[in-house]
Amino acid sequence: MIIRKAKGKDANELKTLYFEYLTHFPPKEEQDMEVWENMLEKFVQDENMYLLVAEEEGKVVSSVQMAIIEGLTHNVRPFAVIENVVTHADYRNRGFASALLEKASEIAKARRCYKVFLETGSNKESTLNFYRNNGFAIDEKHSCLKRL
């Protein structure tokens, strides 16, 4: 397994992961893959944005997105937010997402983050147990959503 930041060349595989395994409502319109590629290349350069992928035999099989947000509290330390944890169905239960979450946590710790906050839209007990098993406390803080 190789863990790395996503690159522009990963756009199509990420689109498949997101639209087939992450979101229940993929967009109906065709995606401009040049926009995806350009955004991924921006993430490579941005020290506060991480779209990490796990690669197996040359294929992107899992992904985690993390943003580091500068803050004025906790002795002017940043915090991290993780979203979009997804693994291709054929590669689940093999440690890919756990390895990505561990790598994200290592990055956050190296960047002096005082916490890592994980957002999930799932209420499935198996998903919540997966996050618990990876060190995340469920229901310790509350998240409020306003759709725009």
The CATH number given to whatever domain includes residue 14 is 3.40.630.30
How do residues 2-49 score in pLDDT, each as one tens digit? Answer: 999 999 999 999 999 998 887 776 777 888 899 999 999 999 999 999
Over residues 51-72, the pLDDT tens digits come to: 999 999 999 999 999 999 999 9
- Determine the pLDDT at residue 148: 85
Q: Is residue 101 part of a domain?
A: yes
- Report the side by side order of strands in the sheet with 2-5: 2-5, 49-56, 59-69, 79-87, 116-118
Give whole-number Cα distances, 9 to 37, 41, 118, 135, in Å: 7, 9, 27, 32
Residue 141 domain-assigned? no
User: What is d(CA 110, CA 103) in angstroms, rounded to the nearest whole number?
Assistant: 11
**Does residue 122 form part of some domain?**
yes
The DSSP element (H or E) to which 61 belongs, if any, is: strand 59-69
* Residue 148 within a domain: no
Q: Per the structure, how many domains does the chain have?
A: 1
Its pTM stands at: 0.90
How far from the centroid of its chain's Cα atoms is residue 129's Cα? 17
143 within some domain: no
* Structural domain containing residue 41: 2-133
